[in-house]
């Protein structure tokens, strides 16, 4: 059974950098069959795609966040991570990590497994 679990601080100060880690069990982050992605959701609002990382280390980021985002992976720990810098109150959200299935026999990909999400509040 595939499981993803986000971890990191629940409260971060403005202008600081957020660091979140997603630990994957039941599947390898080094697999060529998947991307790994971060999605966020401000309280009471919709979903925003932050970016994705492939096992080769290649990344795609949302242009709206690109100057502040970086993603990495640690295959030895089966984890991938998100860093978001220069935080403001607008970055307050539930942050989800998810697995992106690349091959499904059609016009893929899709997000087939998600973590439970972690609420990050940006406040002094």
Partner 1 sequence: DIQMTQSPSSLSASVGDRVTITCRASQSINSYLNWYQQKPGKAPKVLIYAASSLQTGVPSRFSGSGSGTDFTLTISTLQPEDFATYYCQQSYSTPKTFGQGTKVEIK
Residues in contact with partner 1 by CB under 8 A are 37, 46-49, 51-52, 60-64, 96, 98, 104-112, 114-117
Q: Nearest 5°: phi and psi at 90?
A: -65, -15
Query: Alpha-carbon distance 61 to 24, whole Å?
Result: 21
Specify the residue for token string 């966040």. 65
Least gap, CB of 33 to partner 1 (angstroms): 15
The alpha carbon dihedral of 74, 115, 56, 67 has a sign of negative
Q: Tell me whether residue 67 or residue 76 sits nearer to partner 1 (CB atom).
A: 67
User: Pairing relation of β-strands 48-54 and 18-25?
Assistant: unpaired
Least gap, CB of 80 to partner 1 (angstroms): 16
Instruction: Give the pair of three-digit tokens for residue 25.
Output: 């069990």
Q: Tell me whether residue 37 or residue 81 sits nearer to partner 1 (CB atom).
A: 37
Q: Tell me whether residue 76 or residue 107 sits nearer to partner 1 (CB atom).
A: 107
Least gap, CB of 109 to partner 1 (angstroms): 5
Least gap, CB of 70 to partner 1 (angstroms): 16
Q: Tell me whether residue 46 or residue 124 sits nearer to partner 1 (CB atom).
A: 46
Pair 59, 51: CB distance under 8 Å: yes
């Amino acid at each position: 059974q595939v499981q993803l679990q986000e971890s990191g601080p629940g409260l971060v100060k403005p202008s600081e950098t957020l660091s979140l880690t997603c630990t994957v069990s039941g599947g390898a982050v080094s697999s060529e069959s998947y991307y790994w992605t971060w999605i966020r959701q401000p309280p009471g609002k919709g979903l925003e795609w932050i970016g994705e990382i492939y096992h080769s280390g290649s990344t795609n980021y949302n242009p709206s966040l690109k100057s502040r985002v970086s993603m990495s992976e640690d295959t030895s720990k089966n984890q991938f991570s998100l860093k978001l810098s220069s935080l403001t109150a607008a970055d307050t959200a539930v942050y989800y990590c998810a697995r992106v299935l690349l091959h499904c026999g059609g016009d893929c990909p899709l997000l087939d497994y998600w973590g439970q999400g972690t609420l990050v509040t940006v406040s002094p």
